[in-house]
Structure 1
Amino acid sequence: MVRHIFKPEERIGWASQLPQVQDEWDGLLQTLSGHTNWVWSVAFSPDGKTLASASSDDSVRLWDAVTEAVLNTLRGHTDTVNSVAYSPDSKMLASASTDDTVRLWDPATGALLNIFDIGHYPIALHFSKDGRYITG
């Protein structure tokens, strides 16, 4: 598609030094399958080895970013999970849901650490740089 779009410029001459690339390619590296509904948020762990995904199937899944394997499925929310965020030290994972709760998980074990009923749901979660606060 990109080659087709810029074909007229190739004839003009400014694009005469084209890079050598495959004839057929796309940007897809991996497809992670497992959720049964929409995925609203993803977050890589700070070391880049694990990916967390938040879904309308009321769950959070943890994936091995290299092998694509599901490492854990975190359940407990009673409605769409719309955001996930790792703490800077990777020891906690926060998830926010339209059930008006934020849950803290231990991503290494999948254990639920705490539940905060906040009376509304944040669209996006973020840990502070020191990992002591969550904003959303």
Structure 2
Amino acid sequence: MAIDVNGNNLAIADSDGAVKIIRLPDLLVVAEFTKDKLDTPTAIALSPDGKLLAVANQRHIVFIFDLTLGSEVNSLEGHTLQINSLAFSPSGRYVISAGLDKTVRIWDVSVRQKTPKLLVGHSAGVLHAKLDSTDTLALTASADKTSRLWDVGTGQEISRLNGSDRSILLSRFTADENRILAVSEDGTIRTYAKTLNDLLKLAQQRVTRGLFCKERVQFLFEQLKCP
């Protein structure tokens, strides 16, 4: 199930492979896609403006549909195992997909791109992925018990968020995008600072004294020789 950011359209996938677009709040079915190639959908997403629909099937293909035209406009291949998560970027330019093949792929659907940006590093299946409002940072959640923050431009991991002893089911940015929320299979929700600067600001709000030398080494990773 997916809903656009304005709350105007709801997308629902059936087990028989059909995907229905339902207008809210009157619950009128305004579009339906029943192509055989969809098989059983494993993930769906609506673009922020409600004009595009992304559907992943059991053959690890992502189909892009134009809801205005009522037809498929692109198909994206590359994942080798089940696709667990699909999401459009806030700008609507990109689709980010996360799979059991331990990879995340970022597709530029504005130009119908076939070759994605690849994020590789998780040691188990990736269960969820999102992009920030600038399209420059990606956030992932994995069965390897970590959330990770990535630089989309370079494809490199920026930071790794640990703390759970079970799979991370979902990670997302807070509304102001200064912090990260991670939902774990162990029933906990953890909050992390997004960057070192954010962590320092948080520490300054809560700590009324300066850090000792050993604390600066431990928490700020400074290369100091402490007595």
Same fold (TM over 0.5): yes
Match status 1:121 vs 2:174:
no
Give me the identity figure in percent.
31
Q: Unpaired runs of 5+ in structure 1?
A: 1-24
| AA of the residue aligned to 1:86 | L
Structure 1 residues 42-51 or 115-124, which shifts more?
A: 115-124
- Using structure 2 for the length normalisation, give the TM-score: 0.46
The superposition leaves residues 80-120 of structure 1 with CA deviations (integer Å, 9 ceiling, x where unpaired) of 00000112232311011000011100112212100112323
Asked if the contact 2:85–2:127 (Cα under 8 Å) also holds between the matched residues in 1, the reply is yes
Higher strand share: 2
The structure 1 residue matched to 2:92, chosen from 48, 60, 64, is: 48
Structure-1 separation of matches of 2:86 and 2:153 = 17
- CA offset at residue 27 of structure 1? 4.5
Structure-2 separation of matches of 1:118 and 1:87 = 23
Structure-2 separation of matches of 1:53 and 1:70 = 13
Runs of 4+ in 1 over 3 A off after TM superposition: 25-29
The superposition leaves residues 11-52 of structure 1 with CA deviations (integer Å, 9 ceiling, x where unpaired) of xxxxxxxxxxxxxx9643322111001000112222111111
The structure 2 residue matched to 1:57, chosen from 87, 96, 101, is: 101
* Residue equivalent to 2:139: 94
Asked if the contact 1:88–1:127 (Cα under 8 Å) also holds between the matched residues in 2, the reply is no
**What are the within-5 Å matches in structure 2 for residues 12-51 of structure 1?**
27-51=71-95
| AA of the residue aligned to 2:176 | D
**Aligned partner of residue 37 in structure 1, secondary structure:** coil
| AA of the residue aligned to 2:132 | S
Q: Number of aligned pairs?
A: 112
Structure-2 separation of matches of 1:130 and 1:89 = 12
- Alpha-carbon RMSD across the aligned residues, in angstroms, is 1.8
Structure with greater contact order relative to length (CA < 8 Å, sep ≥ 6): 1
* Residue equivalent to 1:134: 180
**Aligned partner of residue 133 in structure 2, secondary structure:** coil
Match status 1:85 vs 2:130:
yes
Structure-1 separation of matches of 2:133 and 2:112 = 23
Q: Unpaired runs of 5+ in structure 2?
A: 1-68, 184-227
- Using structure 1 for the length normalisation, give the TM-score: 0.73
Structure-1 separation of matches of 2:163 and 2:134 = 24
- CA offset at residue 68 of structure 1? 2.8
